[in-house]
Amino acid sequence: MKKLREIIVVEGKDDTVAIKRAVNADTIETNGSAINEKTLLMIRKAQETRGVIVFTDPDYPGEKIRKTIQQHVPGCRHAFLPKQEAIAKNSKGLGVEHASVESIRRALADAHEEQGEYELLIPYEELLLAGLIGGEHARARREKLGDMLHIGYTNAKQLQKRLAMFKVTEEAFRNAMIQIFQEEDRK
Mean pLDDT of 150-162: 86
pLDDT, tens digit, 9 for 90 and up, residues 121-138: 899 999 999 999 988 899
Whether residue 80 contacts residue 151, with contact meaning beta carbons closer than 8 Å, is answered with yes
pLDDT-derived band at 78, boundaries 50, 70, 90: very high
Highest mean pLDDT among 9-18, 27-36, 133-142, 159-168: 9-18
Q: List, in order, residues 6 or more apart from 99 with CB less than 8 Å away.
A: 18, 81, 85, 86, 107
What residue segments make up the domains of the chain, in order of their start? 7-113, 124-186
HSE-CB at 160 with a 13 A cutoff on CA atoms is: 13
Given a cut of 90, is residue 30 above it in pLDDT?
yes
Percentage above 70 pLDDT, the chain: 97
**Helices vs strands, H then E, count in the chain:** 8, 5
Question: Count of residues for the chain?
Answer: 187
**Cβ neighbours of residue 173 closer than 8 Å, sequence gap 6 or more:** 121, 122, 126, 145, 149, 163
User: Kind and range of the H or E element at 112?
Assistant: strand 112-113
Is there a contact between 5 and 51 (Cβ–Cβ < 8 Å)?
A: yes
CA dist 117 and 132 (Å) reads 24
Q: Which of 25, 32, 29, 23 is nearest to 51 (CA)?
A: 25
Q: Which of 26, 24, 23, 28 is nearest to 12 (CA)?
A: 28
Average pLDDT estimate for 37-66? 93
Considering the entire predicted model, what is its pTM? 0.74
Determine the Cα–Cα distance for residues 30 and 99; give it in Å rounded to an integer.
19
Mean pLDDT, the chain, as a whole number?
89
CATH of domain 7-113: 3.40.1360.10
Which residues, listed in sequence order, are joined to residue 63 by a DSSP beta bridge?
none
More confident residue, 92 or 43: 43
| CA dist., res. 184 & res. 172, Å (int) | 19
Cβ 3 vs Cβ 25: under 8 Å: yes
Q: Which of 142, 29, 146 is nearest to 96 (CA)?
A: 29
